[in-house]
Chain A
Protein backbone atom coordinates (compact mmCIF):
# COMPACT_ATOMS: atom_id res chain seq x y z
CA UNK A 1 0.00 0.00 0.00
CA UNK A 2 2.80 2.42 0.98
CA UNK A 3 4.79 1.02 -1.94
CA UNK A 4 1.94 1.79 -4.34
CA UNK A 5 1.81 5.39 -3.15
CA UNK A 6 5.56 5.91 -3.49
CA UNK A 7 5.44 4.38 -6.96
CA UNK A 8 2.57 6.69 -7.78
CA UNK A 9 4.46 9.80 -6.67
CA UNK A 10 7.49 8.80 -8.77
CA UNK A 11 5.23 8.09 -11.72
CA UNK A 12 3.40 11.43 -11.36
CA UNK A 13 6.70 13.34 -11.29
CA UNK A 14 7.84 11.52 -14.41
CA UNK A 15 4.56 12.28 -16.19
CA UNK A 16 4.79 15.96 -15.29
CA UNK A 17 8.43 16.17 -16.45
CA UNK A 18 7.86 14.29 -19.72
CA UNK A 19 7.09 17.35 -21.94
CA UNK A 20 10.45 18.84 -20.97
CA UNK A 21 12.20 15.57 -21.78
CA UNK A 22 10.53 15.11 -25.16
CA UNK A 23 10.58 18.81 -26.13
CA UNK A 24 6.96 18.72 -27.31
CA UNK A 25 6.37 17.61 -30.88
CA UNK A 26 4.22 14.87 -32.32
CA UNK A 27 4.85 12.49 -29.45
CA UNK A 28 2.94 14.88 -27.16
CA UNK A 29 -0.17 14.26 -29.21
CA UNK A 30 0.22 10.50 -28.83
CA UNK A 31 0.82 10.85 -25.11
CA UNK A 32 -2.47 12.74 -24.77
CA UNK A 33 -4.15 9.59 -26.10
CA UNK A 34 -2.12 7.44 -23.74
CA UNK A 35 -3.61 9.55 -20.92
CA UNK A 36 -7.19 9.14 -22.13
CA UNK A 37 -6.72 5.41 -22.71
CA UNK A 38 -5.14 5.04 -19.26
CA UNK A 39 -8.28 6.50 -17.69
CA UNK A 40 -10.42 4.09 -19.69
CA UNK A 41 -8.25 1.07 -18.96
CA UNK A 42 -8.22 1.88 -15.23
CA UNK A 43 -12.01 2.24 -15.30
CA UNK A 44 -12.46 -1.13 -17.00
CA UNK A 45 -9.86 -2.71 -14.73
CA UNK A 46 -11.83 -1.71 -11.61
CA UNK A 47 -14.71 -3.72 -13.03
CA UNK A 48 -12.86 -6.60 -14.67
CA UNK A 49 -9.62 -6.94 -12.71
CA UNK A 50 -10.98 -6.20 -9.24
CA UNK A 51 -14.65 -7.18 -9.25
CA UNK A 52 -14.22 -9.86 -11.93
CA UNK A 53 -17.12 -8.61 -14.05
CA UNK A 54 -16.58 -8.29 -17.79
CA UNK A 55 -17.80 -5.49 -20.01
CA UNK A 56 -17.58 -5.53 -23.80
CA UNK A 57 -19.44 -2.25 -24.05
CA UNK A 58 -17.18 0.27 -22.40
CA UNK A 59 -16.51 2.12 -25.64
CA UNK A 60 -20.22 2.96 -25.44
CA UNK A 61 -19.86 4.79 -22.11
CA UNK A 62 -16.78 6.55 -23.45
CA UNK A 63 -18.77 7.59 -26.53
CA UNK A 64 -21.77 8.71 -24.48
CA UNK A 65 -19.51 11.01 -22.44
CA UNK A 66 -17.98 12.41 -25.62
CA UNK A 67 -21.30 12.92 -27.40
CA UNK A 68 -23.12 14.37 -24.40
CA UNK A 69 -20.28 16.86 -23.89
CA UNK A 70 -20.19 17.59 -27.61
CA UNK A 71 -23.94 18.10 -27.97
CA UNK A 72 -24.34 20.11 -24.77
CA UNK A 73 -21.53 22.51 -25.71
CA UNK A 74 -22.40 22.93 -29.41
CA UNK A 75 -26.18 22.64 -29.81
CA UNK A 76 -26.96 23.92 -26.31
CA UNK A 77 -23.92 26.24 -25.94
CA UNK A 78 -23.17 24.97 -22.47
CA UNK A 79 -19.81 25.64 -20.83
CA UNK A 80 -17.50 22.61 -21.26
CA UNK A 81 -16.73 22.50 -17.53
CA UNK A 82 -20.46 22.32 -16.87
CA UNK A 83 -21.14 19.77 -19.61
CA UNK A 84 -18.56 17.31 -18.28
CA UNK A 85 -20.22 16.61 -14.90
CA UNK A 86 -23.69 16.69 -16.48
CA UNK A 87 -22.57 14.03 -18.97
CA UNK A 88 -20.97 12.00 -16.18
CA UNK A 89 -24.17 12.12 -14.08
CA UNK A 90 -26.33 11.05 -17.02
CA UNK A 91 -23.97 8.20 -17.98
CA UNK A 92 -23.65 7.14 -14.32
CA UNK A 93 -27.43 7.05 -13.84
CA UNK A 94 -27.84 5.06 -17.04
CA UNK A 95 -25.12 2.59 -16.00
CA UNK A 96 -26.72 2.20 -12.57
CA UNK A 97 -30.15 1.53 -14.07
CA UNK A 98 -28.81 -0.97 -16.61
CA UNK A 99 -26.36 -2.45 -14.14
CA UNK A 100 -29.03 -3.74 -11.78
CA UNK A 101 -30.57 -6.20 -14.21
CA UNK A 102 -27.51 -7.14 -16.27
CA UNK A 103 -25.03 -7.67 -13.43
CA UNK A 104 -27.21 -10.54 -12.28
CA UNK A 105 -25.71 -12.33 -15.27
CA UNK A 106 -22.39 -14.09 -15.03
CA UNK A 107 -19.51 -14.93 -17.37
CA UNK A 108 -20.42 -15.30 -21.03
CA UNK A 109 -23.94 -14.03 -20.49
CA UNK A 110 -22.69 -10.79 -18.97
CA UNK A 111 -20.23 -10.48 -21.87
CA UNK A 112 -23.10 -10.83 -24.35
CA UNK A 113 -25.33 -8.35 -22.53
CA UNK A 114 -22.64 -5.66 -22.35
CA UNK A 115 -21.70 -6.38 -25.95
CA UNK A 116 -25.33 -5.71 -26.91
CA UNK A 117 -25.35 -2.53 -24.86
CA UNK A 118 -22.23 -1.24 -26.63
CA UNK A 119 -23.70 -2.03 -30.04
CA UNK A 120 -26.99 -0.30 -29.23
CA UNK A 121 -25.17 2.86 -28.13
CA UNK A 122 -23.06 2.74 -31.30
CA UNK A 123 -26.20 2.45 -33.47
CA UNK A 124 -27.77 5.40 -31.65
CA UNK A 125 -24.70 7.55 -32.45
CA UNK A 126 -25.02 6.63 -36.12
CA UNK A 127 -28.77 6.92 -36.51
CA UNK A 128 -29.79 9.99 -34.51
CA UNK A 129 -28.39 12.25 -37.19
CA UNK A 130 -30.20 15.39 -35.97
CA UNK A 131 -28.56 15.09 -32.59
CA UNK A 132 -25.16 13.55 -33.27
CA UNK A 133 -24.52 14.37 -36.91
CA UNK A 134 -24.62 10.63 -37.66
CA UNK A 135 -21.70 8.85 -39.35
CA UNK A 136 -20.14 12.13 -40.51
CA UNK A 137 -19.61 13.14 -36.90
CA UNK A 138 -19.93 16.21 -34.73
CA UNK A 139 -17.50 19.08 -35.18
CA UNK A 140 -16.82 22.45 -33.64
CA UNK A 141 -16.71 21.21 -30.05
CA UNK A 142 -15.07 23.94 -27.96
CA UNK A 143 -11.81 23.43 -26.06
CA UNK A 144 -11.78 23.61 -22.30
CA UNK A 145 -10.67 26.94 -20.88
CA UNK A 146 -9.20 27.68 -17.49
CA UNK A 147 -8.59 31.24 -16.26
CA UNK A 148 -8.62 32.57 -19.81
CA UNK A 149 -6.21 29.93 -21.12
CA UNK A 150 -7.66 27.69 -23.78
CA UNK A 151 -6.44 24.09 -23.94
CA UNK A 152 -5.72 24.15 -27.66
CA UNK A 153 -2.18 22.85 -28.03
CA UNK A 154 -0.76 19.36 -27.54
CA UNK A 155 1.36 20.37 -24.56
CA UNK A 156 -1.51 22.15 -22.79
CA UNK A 157 -3.79 19.20 -23.49
CA UNK A 158 -1.12 16.88 -22.21
CA UNK A 159 -1.15 18.57 -18.81
CA UNK A 160 -4.94 18.74 -18.77
CA UNK A 161 -5.48 15.08 -19.64
CA UNK A 162 -2.73 13.78 -17.41
CA UNK A 163 -3.97 15.77 -14.42
CA UNK A 164 -7.22 13.88 -14.78
CA UNK A 165 -5.53 10.56 -15.57
CA UNK A 166 -3.28 10.83 -12.51
CA UNK A 167 -6.26 11.76 -10.33
CA UNK A 168 -8.16 8.71 -11.60
CA UNK A 169 -5.14 6.50 -10.94
CA UNK A 170 -4.65 7.80 -7.39
CA UNK A 171 -8.36 7.51 -6.70
CA UNK A 172 -8.34 3.91 -7.95
CA UNK A 173 -5.20 2.95 -6.01
CA UNK A 174 -6.83 4.26 -2.83
CA UNK A 175 -10.00 2.39 -3.60
CA UNK A 176 -8.16 -0.85 -4.38
CA UNK A 177 -6.38 -0.76 -1.01
CA UNK A 178 -9.51 -0.08 0.99
CA UNK A 179 -12.43 -1.90 2.55
CA UNK A 180 -14.37 -1.52 -0.72
CA UNK A 181 -11.45 -2.75 -2.84
CA UNK A 182 -11.08 -5.83 -0.66
CA UNK A 183 -14.80 -6.52 -0.92
CA UNK A 184 -14.51 -6.28 -4.72
CA UNK A 185 -11.64 -8.76 -4.84
CA UNK A 186 -13.55 -11.00 -2.43
CA UNK A 187 -16.55 -11.04 -4.77
CA UNK A 188 -14.15 -11.88 -7.59
CA UNK A 189 -12.61 -14.86 -5.75
CA UNK A 190 -15.74 -16.29 -4.11
CA UNK A 191 -19.00 -14.44 -4.37
CA UNK A 192 -20.83 -16.74 -1.96
CA UNK A 193 -18.15 -16.40 0.74
CA UNK A 194 -18.17 -12.61 0.35
CA UNK A 195 -21.95 -12.60 0.82
CA UNK A 196 -21.77 -14.79 3.88
CA UNK A 197 -19.36 -12.26 5.41
CA UNK A 198 -21.90 -9.50 4.85
CA UNK A 199 -20.84 -8.08 1.50
CA UNK A 200 -23.83 -7.08 -0.60
CA UNK A 201 -22.29 -8.40 -3.82
CA UNK A 202 -25.11 -7.30 -6.07
CA UNK A 203 -25.08 -3.69 -4.90
CA UNK A 204 -21.29 -3.55 -4.93
CA UNK A 205 -21.15 -4.77 -8.52
CA UNK A 206 -23.65 -2.14 -9.61
CA UNK A 207 -21.68 0.54 -7.73
CA UNK A 208 -18.40 -0.34 -9.39
CA UNK A 209 -20.06 -0.66 -12.80
CA UNK A 210 -21.47 2.84 -12.33
CA UNK A 211 -18.14 4.26 -11.16
CA UNK A 212 -16.41 2.63 -14.11
CA UNK A 213 -18.95 4.17 -16.51
CA UNK A 214 -18.56 7.61 -14.89
CA UNK A 215 -14.77 7.54 -15.32
CA UNK A 216 -15.22 6.40 -18.93
CA UNK A 217 -17.66 9.24 -19.49
CA UNK A 218 -15.18 11.78 -18.09
CA UNK A 219 -12.53 10.39 -20.43
CA UNK A 220 -15.04 10.75 -23.28
CA UNK A 221 -15.76 14.37 -22.41
CA UNK A 222 -12.05 15.16 -22.27
CA UNK A 223 -11.57 13.39 -25.59
CA UNK A 224 -14.33 15.47 -27.21
CA UNK A 225 -12.96 18.77 -25.90
CA UNK A 226 -9.37 18.05 -26.91
CA UNK A 227 -10.19 16.63 -30.36
CA UNK A 228 -13.02 19.15 -31.04
CA UNK A 229 -14.38 16.57 -33.51
CA UNK A 230 -15.93 13.19 -32.80
CA UNK A 231 -17.50 10.50 -34.95
CA UNK A 232 -19.11 7.13 -34.11
CA UNK A 233 -16.18 5.17 -35.55
CA UNK A 234 -14.10 5.92 -32.42
CA UNK A 235 -16.66 4.31 -30.11
CA UNK A 236 -17.41 1.00 -31.81
CA UNK A 237 -17.05 -2.60 -30.73
CA UNK A 238 -13.41 -2.66 -31.88
CA UNK A 239 -12.50 -0.04 -29.32
CA UNK A 240 -14.21 -1.98 -26.52
CA UNK A 241 -12.04 -4.95 -27.44
CA UNK A 242 -8.96 -2.73 -27.58
CA UNK A 243 -9.71 -1.52 -24.03
CA UNK A 244 -10.10 -5.09 -22.87
CA UNK A 245 -6.77 -5.93 -24.50
CA UNK A 246 -5.10 -3.02 -22.68
CA UNK A 247 -6.38 -4.26 -19.33
CA UNK A 248 -5.38 -7.88 -19.90
CA UNK A 249 -1.97 -7.10 -21.43
CA UNK A 250 -1.18 -4.57 -18.72
CA UNK A 251 -2.26 -6.82 -15.88
CA UNK A 252 -5.66 -7.53 -14.36
CA UNK A 253 -6.09 -5.94 -10.96
CA UNK A 254 -3.16 -3.54 -11.30
CA UNK A 255 -3.63 0.19 -11.79
CA UNK A 256 -0.08 0.68 -13.11
CA UNK A 257 -0.65 -2.32 -15.35
CA UNK A 258 -3.54 -0.47 -16.96
CA UNK A 259 -1.18 2.40 -17.75
CA UNK A 260 1.35 -0.02 -19.29
CA UNK A 261 -1.35 -1.69 -21.38
CA UNK A 262 -2.77 1.64 -22.51
CA UNK A 263 0.69 2.98 -23.34
CA UNK A 264 1.68 -0.12 -25.30
CA UNK A 265 -1.51 -0.32 -27.34
CA UNK A 266 -1.54 3.42 -28.02
CA UNK A 267 2.11 3.66 -29.02
CA UNK A 268 2.17 0.40 -30.96
CA UNK A 269 0.11 1.65 -33.96
CA UNK A 270 2.64 4.45 -34.38
CA UNK A 271 5.32 1.84 -34.93
CA UNK A 272 3.02 -0.35 -37.00
CA UNK A 273 2.33 2.37 -39.56
CA UNK A 274 4.35 0.35 -42.07
CA UNK A 275 1.96 -2.62 -41.90
CA UNK A 276 -1.10 -0.41 -41.77
CA UNK A 277 -4.22 -2.57 -42.14
CA UNK A 278 -2.60 -5.61 -40.62
CA UNK A 279 -2.15 -4.04 -37.19
CA UNK A 280 -5.22 -5.88 -35.90
CA UNK A 281 -3.35 -9.15 -36.58
CA UNK A 282 -0.49 -7.90 -34.43
CA UNK A 283 -2.96 -7.07 -31.62
CA UNK A 284 -4.49 -10.51 -31.84
CA UNK A 285 -1.12 -12.23 -31.81
CA UNK A 286 0.02 -10.06 -28.92
CA UNK A 287 -3.05 -10.93 -26.88
CA UNK A 288 -2.58 -14.64 -27.51
CA UNK A 289 1.11 -14.59 -26.64
CA UNK A 290 0.44 -12.55 -23.50
CA UNK A 291 -2.30 -14.83 -22.23
CA UNK A 292 -0.14 -17.88 -22.89
CA UNK A 293 3.18 -16.67 -21.49
CA UNK A 294 2.32 -13.72 -19.23
CA UNK A 295 -1.14 -14.38 -17.82
CA UNK A 296 -0.45 -11.83 -15.08
CA UNK A 297 0.13 -9.10 -17.67
CA UNK A 298 3.15 -6.90 -18.28
CA UNK A 299 3.13 -5.51 -14.77
CA UNK A 300 3.83 -8.95 -13.28
CA UNK A 301 5.36 -10.68 -16.31
CA UNK A 302 8.24 -8.28 -16.88
CA UNK A 303 9.61 -8.46 -13.31
CA UNK A 304 9.29 -12.26 -13.45
CA UNK A 305 11.11 -12.35 -16.79
CA UNK A 306 13.81 -10.07 -15.37
CA UNK A 307 14.29 -12.33 -12.35
CA UNK A 308 14.50 -15.35 -14.64
CA UNK A 309 17.14 -13.77 -16.88
CA UNK A 310 19.07 -12.40 -13.90
CA UNK A 311 18.89 -15.86 -12.31
CA UNK A 312 20.25 -17.55 -15.45
CA UNK A 313 23.08 -15.04 -15.65
CA UNK A 314 23.85 -15.71 -12.02
CA UNK A 315 24.00 -19.45 -12.67
CA UNK A 316 26.20 -18.94 -15.72
CA UNK A 317 28.52 -16.81 -13.61
CA UNK A 318 28.79 -19.52 -10.99
CA UNK A 319 29.56 -22.26 -13.48
Chain B
Protein backbone atom coordinates (compact mmCIF):
# COMPACT_ATOMS: atom_id res chain seq x y z
CA UNK B 1 0.00 0.00 0.00
CA UNK B 2 2.61 2.47 1.17
CA UNK B 3 6.32 1.99 0.96
CA UNK B 4 8.99 4.41 2.11
CA UNK B 5 12.56 3.63 1.22
CA UNK B 6 15.76 5.32 2.24
CA UNK B 7 14.08 8.48 3.50
CA UNK B 8 16.67 10.96 4.73
CA UNK B 9 15.87 14.46 5.85
CA UNK B 10 18.51 17.01 6.75
CA UNK B 11 17.51 20.37 8.25
CA UNK B 12 20.50 22.68 8.07
CA UNK B 13 23.18 20.55 9.69
CA UNK B 14 20.79 18.33 11.62
CA UNK B 15 19.89 14.91 10.30
CA UNK B 16 16.28 14.42 11.35
CA UNK B 17 15.80 11.14 9.49
CA UNK B 18 18.41 8.77 8.18
CA UNK B 19 17.65 6.09 5.58
CA UNK B 20 14.29 5.06 6.99
CA UNK B 21 12.55 2.28 5.08
CA UNK B 22 9.44 0.24 5.75
CA UNK B 23 6.32 -1.10 4.06
CA UNK B 24 2.75 -0.75 5.15
CA UNK B 25 0.34 -3.48 4.15
CA UNK B 26 -3.14 -2.76 2.86
CA UNK B 27 -5.95 -2.87 5.38
CA UNK B 28 -3.72 -2.88 8.44
CA UNK B 29 -3.34 -0.43 11.29
CA UNK B 30 0.32 0.47 11.62
CA UNK B 31 1.72 2.46 14.52
CA UNK B 32 4.86 4.57 14.25
CA UNK B 33 6.30 5.07 17.71
CA UNK B 34 9.47 6.40 19.23
CA UNK B 35 10.75 8.77 21.91
CA UNK B 36 10.41 12.53 21.46
CA UNK B 37 12.60 13.83 18.67
CA UNK B 38 12.72 10.45 16.92
CA UNK B 39 11.50 12.04 13.68
CA UNK B 40 7.97 10.64 13.58
CA UNK B 41 6.21 13.88 12.68
CA UNK B 42 8.93 14.78 10.18
CA UNK B 43 8.34 11.42 8.51
CA UNK B 44 4.61 12.10 8.38
CA UNK B 45 5.21 15.52 6.90
CA UNK B 46 7.32 13.94 4.17
CA UNK B 47 4.87 11.17 3.37
CA UNK B 48 1.98 13.64 3.24
CA UNK B 49 3.82 16.02 0.92
CA UNK B 50 4.27 18.93 3.32
CA UNK B 51 8.07 18.60 3.41
CA UNK B 52 10.26 17.56 0.52
CA UNK B 53 12.76 14.94 1.68
CA UNK B 54 16.49 15.33 1.12
CA UNK B 55 16.59 11.85 -0.42
CA UNK B 56 14.60 8.64 -0.60
CA UNK B 57 11.29 7.73 -2.19
CA UNK B 58 7.69 7.31 -1.15
CA UNK B 59 5.63 4.75 -3.11
CA UNK B 60 1.86 4.87 -2.85
CA UNK B 61 0.21 1.77 -4.30
CA UNK B 62 3.36 1.18 -6.31
CA UNK B 63 3.48 4.71 -7.71
CA UNK B 64 6.37 7.03 -6.91
CA UNK B 65 4.76 10.03 -5.23
CA UNK B 66 7.93 11.61 -3.81
CA UNK B 67 7.57 15.37 -3.77
CA UNK B 68 3.87 15.38 -4.71
CA UNK B 69 2.06 18.30 -3.05
CA UNK B 70 -0.62 17.37 -0.48
CA UNK B 71 -3.52 18.28 -2.79
CA UNK B 72 -2.30 15.77 -5.36
CA UNK B 73 -1.95 13.06 -2.73
CA UNK B 74 -5.54 13.72 -1.66
CA UNK B 75 -6.64 12.90 -5.21
CA UNK B 76 -4.64 9.66 -4.93
CA UNK B 77 -6.76 8.86 -1.84
CA UNK B 78 -4.19 9.62 0.86
CA UNK B 79 -5.12 12.01 3.63
CA UNK B 80 -3.78 12.95 7.07
CA UNK B 81 -4.78 14.56 10.35
CA UNK B 82 -2.70 16.86 12.52
CA UNK B 83 -1.40 16.65 16.07
CA UNK B 84 -2.71 20.14 16.88
CA UNK B 85 -6.02 19.77 15.10
CA UNK B 86 -6.22 22.09 12.10
CA UNK B 87 -9.90 22.89 11.86
CA UNK B 88 -11.47 25.63 9.78
CA UNK B 89 -12.47 27.52 12.91
CA UNK B 90 -14.75 30.08 11.31
CA UNK B 91 -16.89 27.49 9.54
CA UNK B 92 -19.57 25.16 10.87
CA UNK B 93 -18.85 21.54 11.69
CA UNK B 94 -20.80 20.38 8.64
CA UNK B 95 -19.02 22.86 6.35
CA UNK B 96 -15.67 21.56 7.58
CA UNK B 97 -16.58 18.07 6.42
CA UNK B 98 -18.01 19.46 3.19
CA UNK B 99 -14.56 20.88 2.38
CA UNK B 100 -13.37 17.29 2.67
CA UNK B 101 -15.55 16.51 -0.37
CA UNK B 102 -13.55 18.93 -2.50
CA UNK B 103 -11.91 16.26 -4.64
CA UNK B 104 -15.22 14.39 -4.95
CA UNK B 105 -16.87 17.38 -6.59
CA UNK B 106 -15.98 19.53 -9.54
CA UNK B 107 -18.17 22.64 -9.94
CA UNK B 108 -15.90 25.54 -10.83
CA UNK B 109 -15.91 29.19 -9.93
CA UNK B 110 -18.39 30.22 -12.62
CA UNK B 111 -20.74 27.26 -12.23
CA UNK B 112 -20.97 28.05 -8.50
CA UNK B 113 -21.45 31.78 -9.04
CA UNK B 114 -24.22 31.32 -11.58
CA UNK B 115 -25.77 28.41 -9.68
CA UNK B 116 -25.62 26.06 -12.63
CA UNK B 117 -28.16 23.20 -12.19
CA UNK B 118 -25.42 20.59 -11.84
CA UNK B 119 -23.70 22.63 -9.12
CA UNK B 120 -26.96 22.68 -7.12
CA UNK B 121 -27.43 18.91 -7.26
CA UNK B 122 -23.74 18.44 -6.50
CA UNK B 123 -24.10 20.70 -3.46
CA UNK B 124 -26.93 18.53 -2.18
CA UNK B 125 -24.85 15.37 -2.65
CA UNK B 126 -21.90 16.98 -0.81
CA UNK B 127 -24.14 17.94 2.11
CA UNK B 128 -25.70 14.49 2.42
CA UNK B 129 -22.40 12.67 2.17
CA UNK B 130 -20.75 14.99 4.71
CA UNK B 131 -23.62 14.31 7.09
CA UNK B 132 -23.08 10.55 6.90
CA UNK B 133 -19.44 11.04 7.96
CA UNK B 134 -20.55 13.13 10.93
CA UNK B 135 -22.86 10.28 11.87
CA UNK B 136 -20.03 7.78 11.44
CA UNK B 137 -17.86 9.69 13.93
CA UNK B 138 -20.81 10.37 16.23
CA UNK B 139 -20.91 14.18 16.09
CA UNK B 140 -23.91 14.68 13.79
CA UNK B 141 -25.72 16.59 16.54
CA UNK B 142 -23.02 19.28 16.37
CA UNK B 143 -23.40 19.84 12.59
CA UNK B 144 -24.42 23.50 12.82
CA UNK B 145 -21.99 24.55 15.54
CA UNK B 146 -19.02 26.74 14.74
CA UNK B 147 -15.99 24.47 14.57
CA UNK B 148 -13.82 26.91 16.51
CA UNK B 149 -16.07 26.52 19.55
CA UNK B 150 -15.81 22.73 19.80
CA UNK B 151 -14.11 21.10 22.78
CA UNK B 152 -10.81 19.48 21.83
CA UNK B 153 -12.06 15.90 21.82
CA UNK B 154 -14.95 16.71 19.48
CA UNK B 155 -12.59 18.72 17.30
CA UNK B 156 -10.46 15.62 16.92
CA UNK B 157 -13.48 13.61 15.78
CA UNK B 158 -14.38 16.37 13.34
CA UNK B 159 -10.91 16.32 11.87
CA UNK B 160 -11.21 12.58 11.33
CA UNK B 161 -14.69 12.92 9.78
CA UNK B 162 -13.34 15.59 7.46
CA UNK B 163 -10.42 13.38 6.42
CA UNK B 164 -12.76 10.44 5.77
CA UNK B 165 -14.90 12.63 3.50
CA UNK B 166 -11.95 12.74 1.10
CA UNK B 167 -12.64 9.04 0.50
CA UNK B 168 -9.15 7.86 1.41
CA UNK B 169 -7.70 4.41 0.91
CA UNK B 170 -5.01 5.36 3.44
CA UNK B 171 -5.20 7.77 6.34
CA UNK B 172 -2.26 9.07 8.38
CA UNK B 173 -3.07 10.24 11.91
CA UNK B 174 -0.56 12.31 13.83
CA UNK B 175 -1.09 11.58 17.55
CA UNK B 176 -4.86 11.15 17.41
CA UNK B 177 -5.06 10.49 21.15
CA UNK B 178 -3.05 13.56 22.22
CA UNK B 179 -5.13 15.73 24.52
CA UNK B 180 -7.93 13.18 24.90
CA UNK B 181 -9.09 11.78 28.25
CA UNK B 182 -9.16 8.03 28.83
CA UNK B 183 -12.82 7.67 27.90
CA UNK B 184 -12.32 9.60 24.65
CA UNK B 185 -9.22 7.52 23.87
CA UNK B 186 -11.23 4.33 24.27
CA UNK B 187 -13.88 5.64 21.88
CA UNK B 188 -11.11 6.66 19.48
CA UNK B 189 -9.71 3.12 19.49
CA UNK B 190 -13.14 1.83 18.48
CA UNK B 191 -13.42 4.46 15.76
CA UNK B 192 -10.02 3.62 14.30
CA UNK B 193 -10.97 -0.07 14.13
CA UNK B 194 -14.21 0.84 12.37
CA UNK B 195 -12.19 2.90 9.88
CA UNK B 196 -10.03 -0.15 9.17
CA UNK B 197 -13.20 -2.19 8.69
CA UNK B 198 -14.07 0.20 5.84
CA UNK B 199 -10.95 -1.19 4.16
CA UNK B 200 -8.99 1.98 4.82
CA UNK B 201 -5.34 1.50 5.74
CA UNK B 202 -4.44 3.42 8.91
CA UNK B 203 -1.01 4.71 9.90
CA UNK B 204 -0.68 6.50 13.20
CA UNK B 205 2.02 8.23 15.15
CA UNK B 206 1.16 7.86 18.81
CA UNK B 207 2.61 8.20 22.29
CA UNK B 208 -0.22 6.40 24.06
CA UNK B 209 1.33 2.92 24.28
CA UNK B 210 -1.80 1.29 25.59
CA UNK B 211 -3.71 2.47 22.51
CA UNK B 212 -0.92 1.46 20.14
CA UNK B 213 -0.56 -2.03 21.59
CA UNK B 214 -4.34 -2.46 21.61
CA UNK B 215 -5.21 -1.52 18.03
CA UNK B 216 -2.09 -1.80 15.87
CA UNK B 217 -1.46 -4.80 13.65
CA UNK B 218 2.15 -3.76 13.16
CA UNK B 219 4.51 -1.25 14.74
CA UNK B 220 7.51 0.64 13.41
CA UNK B 221 9.86 2.08 16.04
CA UNK B 222 11.98 5.12 15.27
CA UNK B 223 14.77 6.43 17.45
CA UNK B 224 17.07 9.38 16.75
CA UNK B 225 15.98 9.47 13.11
CA UNK B 226 16.60 5.81 12.39
CA UNK B 227 14.36 2.79 12.25
CA UNK B 228 15.05 0.80 15.39
CA UNK B 229 12.64 -2.10 15.04
CA UNK B 230 9.55 -3.31 13.24
CA UNK B 231 7.06 -6.03 14.07
CA UNK B 232 3.87 -7.04 15.80
CA UNK B 233 3.02 -5.36 19.12
CA UNK B 234 4.17 -8.50 20.92
CA UNK B 235 7.55 -8.58 19.18
CA UNK B 236 8.07 -4.88 19.84
CA UNK B 237 7.27 -5.21 23.53
CA UNK B 238 9.87 -7.93 23.84
CA UNK B 239 12.56 -6.26 21.74
CA UNK B 240 15.63 -5.42 23.85
CA UNK B 241 16.60 -2.47 21.60
CA UNK B 242 13.20 -0.88 22.02
CA UNK B 243 13.26 -1.33 25.77
CA UNK B 244 16.72 0.20 25.88
CA UNK B 245 15.66 3.19 23.78
CA UNK B 246 12.67 3.90 25.97
CA UNK B 247 14.09 3.15 29.39
CA UNK B 248 17.74 4.00 28.79
CA UNK B 249 20.64 1.63 28.38
CA UNK B 250 22.66 0.47 31.34
CA UNK B 251 25.95 0.29 29.44
Given contacts A182-B99, A183-B99, A186-B99, contact A196 B122 (CB under 8 A): no
CB atoms of B80 and A179 under 8 A apart: no
Is A185's CB within 8 Å of the partner chain B?
Answer: yes
Query: Separation in Å of the B128 CB from the closest CB of chain A?
Result: 14
Query: Separation in Å of the A61 CB from the closest CB of chain B?
Result: 17
Query: Separation in Å of the A228 CB from the closest CB of chain B?
Result: 31
Is B50's CB within 8 Å of the partner chain A?
Answer: yes
What chain B residues lie within 8 Å of A267 (beta carbons)? none
What chain A residues lie within 8 Å of B122 (beta carbons)? 179
CB atoms of A181 and B75 under 8 A apart: no
CB atoms of A181 and B112 under 8 A apart: yes
CB atoms of A197 and B74 under 8 A apart: yes
CB atoms of A185 and B90 under 8 A apart: yes
Given contacts A189-B90, A207-B109, contact A198 B71 (CB under 8 A): yes
Given contacts A178-B123, A196-B79, contact A189 B112 (CB under 8 A): no
What chain B residues lie within 8 Å of A119 (beta carbons)? none
Q: Which of A171, A174, A189, A195 contacts B91 (CB 8 A)?
A: A189
Is B202's CB within 8 Å of the partner chain A?
Answer: no
The list of the 9 closest CB pairs from A to B, nearest first, reads: A198-B74, A178-B112, A198-B103, A193-B86, A189-B88, A195-B70, A190-B86, A175-B113, A186-B99
Give the distance in Å from the alpha carbon of A188 to the alpha carbon of B147 in the complex.
14
Interface digits, A205-248 against B, CB 8 Å rule (1 contact, 0 not)?
00110010000000000000000000000000000000000000
CB atoms of B113 and A195 under 8 A apart: no
Give the distance in Å from the alpha carbon of A296 to the alpha carbon of B98 in the complex.
24
Is A89's CB within 8 Å of the partner chain B?
Answer: no
CB atoms of B88 and A185 under 8 A apart: yes
Give the distance in Å from the alpha carbon of A139 to the alpha carbon of B124 in the complex.
51
Q: Which of B69, B108, B163 contacts A197 (CB 8 A)?
A: B163
What chain A residues lie within 8 Å of B113 (beta carbons)? 171-172, 174-175, 178
Is B41's CB within 8 Å of the partner chain A?
Answer: no
Chain A's closest residue to B81 (CB) is A196
What chain B residues lie within 8 Å of A172 (beta carbons)? 113
CB atoms of A180 and B99 under 8 A apart: no
CB atoms of A174 and B70 under 8 A apart: no
CB atoms of A180 and B48 under 8 A apart: no
Within 8 A of A (CB), among B16-62: 48, 50
Give the distance in Å from the alpha carbon of A179 to the alpha carbon of B119 in the complex.
9
Give the distance in Å from the alpha carbon of A185 to the alpha carbon of B88 in the complex.
8
What chain A residues lie within 8 Å of B126 (beta carbons)? 179
CB atoms of A198 and B166 under 8 A apart: yes
What chain B residues lie within 8 Å of A194 (beta carbons)? 88, 99
A-B contact pairs, 8 of them (CB 8 A): A179-B112, A180-B107, A180-B112, A182-B98, A182-B99, A196-B80, A197-B79, A198-B166
